[in-house]
């Protein structure tokens, strides 16, 4: 029997927020497919996560050309599941992809040239079996390609109908402002910026959020839980099988006694708010109206359901915010 989404999916607790100056609204939580959707993962689990997300009002699914492992496999797997399970629901979804990091050998396999971006989006669409993506991002600034060339490629995709909207990711405030200016002149305004942002990584507060507000660009933070540090996983040290033991994106030496003390204090505050640490960390980002949506990952459906409970309490008292600052400053 084909998958039938929950008929009440839009009446549950999910909120939808306007993205910058556009007509697009995004679900306050979006599903990122950075991890857990590669060929190394179990397809049935991938299906269960996607269905749980959609059944609970998540409409935005975020990919990139190099997600896997191996690179490209997240898009391929997502495309297959989309075709098999969600074929009648494409118009209810915002699907995004990106290019900018290393994808294939040689001088045209990464960064921001028109050659790389055009080839990359064509490959992504084939992998996902789609005619277009809703949002296409340039994944990181390129020090060697003129910004005009990179932005012209994004503008081209919209004119070709291969992307409805465009965005940038990992751009610092000054480069983001220049990119937004160029895109506005081309007639394809930037929809959204995807920066790394969490309680532990707050560089966006150093001018980027103000630039986004000035240009009417949405904001969708990734790594909101600091690779799992802002969860109850590390309250008692480093558990076996955690990301820190694998040492790829989070290394054991990063988990110092000071960090553990901070996590424990934040957790105590979260408990007083009837939240887990992860739920409070997500709510803390969503309290800022400039944040359109927050990207969350999930290795199983239950994790997704747990993260969504953050929407039950997005309000922080002045005292709570002050306490968080005190804890973070150590």
What is 16-227+283-312's CATH superfamily? NADP-dependent oxidoreductase domain (3.20.20.100)
For Cα atoms 22, 30, 206, give the angle at the middle one, nearest 5 degrees.
Answer: 70
Query: How confident is the model over 293-322, as pLDDT tens digits?
Result: 999 999 999 999 999 999 999 999 999 999
Evaluate whether 166 touches 137 at the Cβ level (below 8 Å). Answer: yes
123 within 8 A of 98, measured Cβ to Cβ? no
C-beta separation of 194 from 166 below 8 A: no
Could you state, in order of their start, the residue ranges of all structural domains in the chain? 16-227+283-312
- pLDDT at residue 243 above 70? no
| Residue 188: DSSP 8-state | -
The yes-or-no verdict on residue 52 having pLDDT over 60 is: yes
Task: State the DSSP string of 225-254.
Answer: TGGGTTSGGGTTS--TTSHHHHTSSS-GGG
Render pLDDT for 108-128 as a digit per residue (tens, 0 to 9): 999 999 999 999 999 999 999
Rounded to the nearest 10 degrees, the angle between the axes of helix 277-286 and helix 301-308 is 60
Is the pLDDT at 178 greater than 90, yes or no?
A: yes
Cβ-Cβ contacts under 8 Å for 146 (sequence gap 6 or more): none
Least confident of 38-52, 226-240, 272-286, 290-304: 226-240
| Distance separating alpha carbons of residues 218 and 282, to the nearest angstrom | 17
Query: Residue 239 has what pLDDT?
Result: 66
pLDDT digits (tens, 9 = 90+) for 131-166: 999 999 999 999 999 999 999 999 999 999 999 999
- CA-to-CA distance for 110 and 98, rounded, in angstroms? 11
Q: How far is CA 146 from CA 65, 66, 169, in A?
A: 22, 23, 17
> Does residue 247 carry a pLDDT above 80?
no
């Amino acid at each position: 029997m084909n998958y039938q989404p929950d008929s009440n999916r839009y009446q549950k607790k999910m909120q939808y927020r306007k993205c910058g100056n556009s007509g697009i609204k995004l679900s306050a939580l979006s599903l990122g497919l950075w991890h857990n959707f590669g060929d190394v993962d179990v397809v049935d689990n991938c299906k269960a996560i996607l269905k749980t997300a959609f059944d609970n009002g998540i409409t935005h699914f975020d990919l990139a050309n190099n997600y896997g492992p191996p690179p490209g496999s997240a898009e391929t797997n997502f495309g297959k599941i989309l075709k098999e399970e969600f074929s009648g629901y494409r118009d209810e979804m915002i699907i995004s992809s990106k290019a900018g990091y290393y994808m294939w050998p040689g001088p045209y396999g990464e960064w921001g040239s028109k050659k790389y971006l055009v080839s990359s989006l064509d490959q992504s669409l084939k992998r996902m079996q789609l005619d277009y993506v809703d949002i296409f991002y340039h994944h990181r600034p390129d020090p060697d390609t003129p910004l005009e060339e990179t932005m012209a490629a994004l503008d081209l995709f919209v004119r070709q109908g291969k992307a409805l909207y465009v965005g940038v990711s990992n751009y610092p405030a000054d480069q983001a402002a220049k990119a937004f200016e160029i895109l506005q002149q081309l007639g394809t305004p930037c929809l959204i910026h995807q920066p790394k942002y969490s309680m532990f990584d707050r560089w966006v507060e150093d001018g980027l959020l103000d630039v986004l507000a000035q240009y009417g660009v949405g904001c969708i933070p990734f790594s909101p839980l600091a690779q799992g540090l802002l969860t109850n996983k590390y309250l008692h040290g480093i558990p076996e099988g955690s990301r820190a033991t694998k040492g790829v994106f989070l290394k054991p030496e990063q988990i110092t006694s000071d960090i553990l003390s901070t996590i424990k204090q934040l957790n105590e505050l979260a408990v007083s708010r009837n939240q887990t640490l992860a739920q409070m960390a997500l709510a803390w980002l969503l309290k800022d109206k400039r944040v359109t949506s927050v990207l969350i990952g999930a290795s199983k459906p239950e994790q997704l359901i747990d993260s969504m409970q953050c929407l039950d309490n997005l309000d922080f008292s002045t005292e709570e915010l002050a306490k968080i600052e005190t804890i973070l400053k150590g």
